[in-house]
Structure 1
Amino acid sequence: MQNNLKALTVLFFLLLFFALIVGCSDNGTSSEETEQETELKDPSEVGYPESLTYWAELNGNAAQTAQTLNDVRAYQVMEETTGTTIEFKHPSGEGTDITEQFNLMLASGKLPDMIEYNWRTVPKGPDNAIEDGTIIRLNEIIEDYAPNLNQYLNENPEVKKTVTTDEGNIYTFPFIRGDEKLMVFMGMIIRQDWLDTLDLDTPTTIAEWEEVLKAFKTGDPNGNGEQDEVPLLVQPDDFKNIGPFVGAYGIHAQFYNDNGTVKYGSIQPEFKEFLTTMNRWYEEGLLDADFAAMDGKLVDAKVTNDQLGSLFGYTGGGIGRFTGLMEDHPTFELSATPHPALEEGGIAATAQKAFPHEGYHSVAISGQAENPEEIAKWLDFAYSEEGHMLFNFGVEGESYEMIDGYPTYTEEITNNPDGLPMSNALGKYIRANYGGPMIQDVRYVEQYLDLPAQKEAIEIWEETAENNINMPPITMNSDESDEFNSIMSDLDTYYDETVIRFIMGDEPLDNFDEFVATLEGMGINRAIELQQAALDRYMAR
């Protein structure tokens, strides 16, 4: 009896032990269960979802006439076509406000189905966002449920390279510029009528620019008998991030790719030459005294008061916008100037030129989304022929007509009856003029830039910069991203303040070596190493 009791006791504990093992296995995830959880639906059984939530900034081009993107005709027609109702969630503000609200949303742990953002630049990088479940890997999803985007990426491997991380993950439905002409849209703009009044040629070198700016300052080109002209306006972020005038010295002010070697332009001797020129122009009143504290309203005021001689700006928001604002001025005329070189016949090393995909205005599927296959099918609609026409041109018969096979904007867009600028009239219908998960069509820009000066600007700016030193859209891994952001957060603050002080003369240029030493002490060389590692991986993709 006692032996039987012992046997039963042993059997009980053995059963309990196995039960605990099984219980622990159930609380975890077996490999079979993982396969079941990640098993994708048969594409033939996937339809459009009934409803989705979508977080995205409401761009100013649309905000003029829309409370949400539901008010944009493209999304209204898309809802009629797919049957999917979208609840848009729009953060308020712009710039850092959007970034703060994005971070707060992630921290809340309550995510919508889709999130539109530049995921390439998120802290710790997109691979980490996939790893921690914030968003999902899209490779297989796109292959099976987004045939239109999948076909485009397979036919355009260089574009596919830019939407893929170093670990091989595709992480967003991208905004893609579908033509070379869509990638150049900013440069130096000058008052052509002032050049004509003073019998001056368009400047092409730094020395010629200096002579033109001096003539603008002293020659009374606006004809009011006062020396109130502001010869030049370029803002600090433009010098820093895009490089007007900096490219003449063979460098970029920030990180650049010198035949596979990453360099930081602002610690090169050439940057001191650039600063010396800008300081001289500032001291002589050639560069706007307000250049470091400028906003859009002040720029508008200087242009409409007939005071500003040249500026760095957009084809649309610069040449087009200011030409419209000054349409009652009898002689006002703007033209683009070549990116200047140091020597006659030279070419700038860098200027504004975008890559087909850089991360902006692209959509990731949240890790909390319950139906990623259906979401992918819905997003892929914009990459179809029907969706492409809808998001680039709007609704046939309303915003465009097909004329000789060319989607031609109607007067609803080109001469809006409510007096809307073309940018806002387009914003009522489409997303091509500010981006979104879609492929931008060159025929949009051919009509948006309707002025001859705008079309000429693209050609001039594209032809007068080599742009072979521009950094591609690299990504960093989690550890690199943390370390890089830690270095650059303090370094950028010091950099921004000191460069302005150099230009304004508050910091003697004799202290340039001390500036470089401080940047090195703050970790710029380590930041270069991190950029180098990311560039090496990008080139090896």
Structure 2
Amino acid sequence: VVVNVSEKYKDKMPNWFSILENNEDIRRAVTLDDGTSALFCHIELDLKRGAYAGNFIRGDWLENVGMEVPTTVDELYEVLVAFRDQDPNKNGQPDKIPWVEDKGFAAIGVLAGSWGLIYQDIQRDPNDPNKITYWPLVNDGANFTDFITTLNKWYKEKLLDQEFASQDDSQREAKILSHQGGFGFAYTVHYNTWSSTLKETVPEAKMVGLKPLVGIAGKPYGTNHAHVRPAAPNEGNCITVQAEKDGVIDACLKFIDYLYSEEGSTLINWGIEGVSYTVEPDGTKKWTDAITNDPEFRLQDKVFVYAIPTWGSWPKIMDYDAWASIELTTDEAKQAHENYWQADTGILVPPLLLSQQEGERYSQIMTDVNTALSENFVKFVMGTRPLSEISRLPQEIKDMGIEEAMEIYQRAYDRYMAK
């Protein structure tokens, strides 16, 4: 049994409750329907940090085929055709894979936003932001059908990696780093690591982070819920009633509240002043040479000796500047981050809390639905199940209980909005 700190101990956690009182979205995310505050998780005061994932394209390949950075699905198609038919990596070999993908379908997931869809997930309806739906059901399945039909066409034309359904992430990465792939998924950190590796053999290599593309949905919809989630209510820490019985409740409350203070936040994100970081005259923080110039460890590794700027599954305030100093160390990474941030958030779902009963039932339904959809998705794209049968899918997943799952999330969304 956990302690409801909002009832008995509000005065002992001034930092935590100040955050809740001054940030409506965070309060909605971390409190129960009755106002109970019992969970302490990482929170985001700057949602821009959530723009860490999207699709990339090889900028030098674009230059080599005389084309511009695509902004629409149609333009991407033309670029991929050029990558296939010309010699964008200038090695004279027929080894180009226009779009490199693996069985995680990450780039497919990002691209689905161009159709107003979120791959394998509950979402808001692009036609009604207060309505929860599921991606094969948007516009009575019309968007899903067009999306699958497009991917099937691109697969047949060898624009999409022919091994996308079987290879893992390491195999995909190997193709990218050997200059075979021109388009795919990338986290912002990849613009630091992959880019430097690519430049070792091709100095002019350039990774360009794409803004979400516009397709039939008419908007550059994003598919990463982190863009609208200021807290992670499904992970974190609670204080149990055992702390009261053992007489340590005050110490627990004081410690957790400290982590949400300015001093505590600085300690966990930056470490110790004068040792791991210094404060510049303008007030900004900077890592010391002990972090940036260690002869044995990279910056991304050495920093964890003193601080935890990029992780957050416990009580803490994520510090955007600390995170950016680790994740965005190149101009390419910074530009990709800015472009990823341009996503329209209209179909994303805020952090919702389900009751235990709701969560168990939802998971039960979605395990079956997502498994069936994943299997059929691959069959449709690869052509082993005829496209003429796509229209059957909505009823097939309705028979599995998808409408009940949507109702569960709709109730949770309505409760969230009413808080």
Number of the residue aligned with 2:395: 517
Q: Equivalent residues in 2 for 1:45-84 (5 A)?
A: none
Indicate whether 1:322 and 2:201 are aligned: no
| Displacement of 1:274 | 0.6
Question: Which residue, out of 323, 327, 330, partners 1:451?
Answer: 330
Number of the residue aligned with 1:266: 136
Question: Which residue, out of 21, 25, 28, partners 1:158?
Answer: 25
Between the aligned partners of 1:394 and 1:492, the Cα distance in structure 2 is 42
Q: Equivalent residues in 2 for 1:464-479 (5 A)?
A: 465-479=343-357
Number of the residue aligned with 1:218: 85
TM-score by structure 1 length?
0.70
Relative to structure 1, is the Cα distance of residues 445 and 244 closer, same or farther in structure 2, using a 3 angstrom cutoff? same
Number of the residue aligned with 2:219: 347
| Displacement of 1:219 | 1.5
| Displacement of 1:461 | 1.9
Indicate whether 1:250 and 2:122 are aligned: no
Question: Which residue, out of 212, 231, 235, partners 1:357?
Answer: 231
Question: Which residue, out of 408, 411, 419, partners 1:530?
Answer: 408
TM-score by structure 2 length?
0.89
Q: Deviations over 1:292-346 (max 9, x none)?
A: 2343422331122121212112111x212212333423122111112111279x5
Q: Equivalent residues in 2 for 1:56-205 (5 A)?
A: 133=1, 135-140=2-7, 143-205=10-72
Q: Deviations over 1:27-82 (max 9, x none)?
A: xxxxxxxxxxxxxxxxxxxxxxxxxxxxxxxxxxxxxxxxxxxxxxxxxxxxxxxx
Number of the residue aligned with 1:377: 254
Relative to structure 1, is the Cα distance of residues 487 and 415 closer, same or farther in structure 2, using a 3 angstrom cutoff? same
Task: Tell me the SS of whatever aligns to 2:110.
Answer: coil
Between the aligned partners of 2:157 and 2:104, the Cα distance in structure 1 is 22
Number of the residue aligned with 1:14: none
Number of the residue aligned with 1:461: 340
Structure 1: unaligned runs, 5 residues or longer: 1-132
Number of the residue aligned with 1:31: none
Between the aligned partners of 1:290 and 1:381, the Cα distance in structure 2 is 50
Indicate whether 1:229 and 2:103 are aligned: no
Number of the residue aligned with 1:44: none
Indicate whether 1:439 and 2:337 are aligned: no
Q: Which has the larger radius of gyration?
A: 1
Between the aligned partners of 1:144 and 1:238, the Cα distance in structure 2 is 48
Task: Tell me the SS of whatever aligns to 2:311.
Answer: coil
Q: Higher relative contact order at CA 8 Å, sep ≥6: structure 1 or structure 2? A: 2
| Displacement of 1:444 | 1.3
Between the aligned partners of 1:323 and 1:310, the Cα distance in structure 2 is 14
Between the aligned partners of 2:410 and 2:378, the Cα distance in structure 1 is 28
CA contact (8 A) 1:184 1:353 kept: no
Relative to structure 1, is the Cα distance of residues 505 and 429 closer, same or farther in structure 2, using a 3 angstrom cutoff? farther
Relative to structure 1, is the Cα distance of residues 158 and 396 closer, same or farther in structure 2, using a 3 angstrom cutoff? same
Structure 2: unaligned runs, 5 residues or longer: none
Between the aligned partners of 2:184 and 2:112, the Cα distance in structure 1 is 15
Number of the residue aligned with 1:73: none
Number of the residue aligned with 2:302: 425
Number of the residue aligned with 2:206: 333
Indicate whether 1:293 and 2:166 are aligned: yes
Between the aligned partners of 2:407 and 2:264, the Cα distance in structure 1 is 42
Q: Deviations over 1:497-526 (max 9, x none)?
A: 111211122221111122222101111111
Task: Tell me the SS of whatever aligns to 1:224.
Answer: coil
Between the aligned partners of 2:93 and 2:21, the Cα distance in structure 1 is 61
Indicate whether 1:498 and 2:376 are aligned: yes
Partner amino acid, structure 2, of 1:381: Y
Task: Tell me the SS of whatever aligns to 1:313.
Answer: strand
| Displacement of 1:229 | 1.6
Task: Tell me the SS of whatever aligns to 1:397.
Answer: coil
Q: Deviations over 1:209-248 (max 9, x none)?
A: 11111111221222221111221134455559x9412111
Number of the residue aligned with 1:39: none
Relative to structure 1, is the Cα distance of residues 381 and 483 closer, same or farther in structure 2, using a 3 angstrom cutoff? same
Partner amino acid, structure 2, of 1:249: W
Task: Tell me the SS of whatever aligns to 1:312.
Answer: strand
Task: Tell me the SS of whatever aligns to 1:227.
Answer: coil
What is the aligned-residue RMSD (CA, Å)? 2.2
| Displacement of 1:169 | 2.3
Between the aligned partners of 1:236 and 1:477, the Cα distance in structure 2 is 32
Between the aligned partners of 1:514 and 1:303, the Cα distance in structure 2 is 37
Between the aligned partners of 1:518 and 1:295, the Cα distance in structure 2 is 29
Relative to structure 1, is the Cα distance of residues 366 and 503 closer, same or farther in structure 2, using a 3 angstrom cutoff? farther
Bigger shift: residues 267-276 or 441-450: 441-450
Q: Deviations over 1:108-138 (max 9, x none)?
A: xxxxxxxxxxxxxxxxxxxxxxxxx2x4333
Between the aligned partners of 1:423 and 1:294, the Cα distance in structure 2 is 28
Q: Deviations over 1:337-358 (max 9, x none)?
A: 12111279x5323332511113
- Paired residue total: 403
Q: Quick one: percent identity of the two aligned structures?
A: 31
Relative to structure 1, is the Cα distance of residues 269 and 380 closer, same or farther in structure 2, using a 3 angstrom cutoff? same
Between the aligned partners of 2:171 and 2:124, the Cα distance in structure 1 is 35
Relative to structure 1, is the Cα distance of residues 397 and 360 closer, same or farther in structure 2, using a 3 angstrom cutoff? farther
Number of the residue aligned with 1:208: 75
Between the aligned partners of 1:362 and 1:142, the Cα distance in structure 2 is 19
Q: Deviations over 1:255-308 (max 9, x none)?
A: 222321111112322011111111111222211223223434223311221212
Task: Tell me the SS of whatever aligns to 2:97.
Answer: coil
Partner amino acid, structure 1, of 2:354: M
Partner amino acid, structure 2, of 1:251: L
